[in-house]
Amino acid sequence: MTESVLLRLCRAQANLAETVIQPWMREHDAGARARLIESMLPRLIDLGAVLRELHAAVWKDLVGGGVREVQSLGEDLQQMWADALAFLGGVRANGRECLAQGYAIDRFDELERVVEALEQVREEHGARWPWIDQETVARSKADIAAGRCYRAKDVLDALRNPNH
Amino acid sequence: MRYEIQITNSVREKLAGLNLSPQLLYYIDGHLHDELAELPTRHLQRVRGAADCLQYSFCESDRAGDYLFVFTVVYSRDEETLIIMDLEYLFEAGG
């Protein structure tokens, strides 16, 4: 429950930042774009920190038993990491373009690190989350159709006492 | 009404491959039969989207660390049995 609220909050923050910044990205004057990006950087860096905090909090809660909708929350988070990376990656690409044209952006290196950290978060989330294994589910469907099902108690007893 | 809990052969093989301690297997037995079998509607969560199934999860610890177990479950046609279709788990080593 806590995660779903935090998730909505982070998503709202990211959407707000995106709504504010996206029109600026279409500004043709690179100097003006560089100044606008620079003015928004503290908020974007904070947003990155909040997203990383959410990631850490979710994992702590997950192993602590605080998450019930495991698959659904995992999918929501995966979507949020993708959206946040698309947005912040877009700002980074735009900023790099400005830098290449000779316009300085203070603290731009911090945005680079924010995006890199979020890329790691997305990779870790995708790789470690206990997703439903669709291959096992497909094999299980075949097992059910063929009657290859066993009482859980018998299976667990046999595993606990392999010599009996 | 107490539901029967069954495990498919694929999940049985997966479970065996995890080499869980007898203590953890005992805990799993307890959760499945004392919680899930007794009150499945309270403990099962519907998965939204394409998966269209139910999940049951719980955490346990042993000397090695903390575990999260996540079971994918369906009701059998007789509506008196719950069949486990998948098992995933997370492990965090103890500090």
Cross-chain Cβ contact B8/A156 below 8 Å: no
Number of domains in chain A: 2
**A87 shares its domain with A139:** no
pLDDT confidence of residue B50? 67
A60 touches chain B (CB under 8 A): no
A69: chain B residues, CB-CB within 8 Å: 45, 47, 55
pLDDT tens-place string over residues B9-68: 999 999 999 999 999 999 999 999 999 999 999 999 998 776 678 999 999 988 888 999
The reply to whether residue B12 touches residue A151, judged by beta carbons under 8 angstroms, is no
From B9, B14, B84, residue closest to A148, measured CB to CB? B9
The structure tokens listed for A77 are: 């988070």
What CATH number is associated with residue B46? Answer: 3.30.2310.20
Q: Residue count of chain A, please give it.
A: 164
Same domain, A102 and A140: no
Residues A126 and A70 in one domain: yes
Same-domain check for residues A117 and A151? no
Q: What's the pLDDT band for A159 if we cut at 50, 70, 90?
A: very high
User: Is the distance from CB of A42 to CB of A107 less than 8 angstroms?
Assistant: yes
Choose among A134, A139, A159: nearest Cβ to B16.
A159
Which range is most confident: A34-38, A42-46, B14-18?
B14-18
Six-digit token string for A37:
């990006």
CB contact under 8 A, A130 and B86: no
Domain range for residue B78?
A: 4-93
Are A69 and A123 in a shared domain?
yes
> In whole numbers, what is the pLDDT of chain A averaged over residues?
89
Domain check: are A66 and A88 in the same one?
Answer: yes
**Helix locations, chain A, DSSP H:** 2-25, 30-63, 70-100, 108-128, 134-146, 152-160
Same domain, A55 and A31: yes
Do A122 and A144 have their domain in common?
Answer: no
What are the angstrom distances between the C-alpha of A158 and each of A9, B28, B74? 47, 13, 23
Domain count of chain B? 1
Segment A97-137, tens digit of pLDDT: 999 999 999 999 999 999 999 999 999 999 999 999 999 99
Taking the Cβ of residue B75 and every Cβ of chain A, the question of whether any pair is shorter than 8 Å is answered with: no
The verdict on B11 touching A (C-beta cutoff 8 Å) is yes
**Domain residues for A142?**
133-164
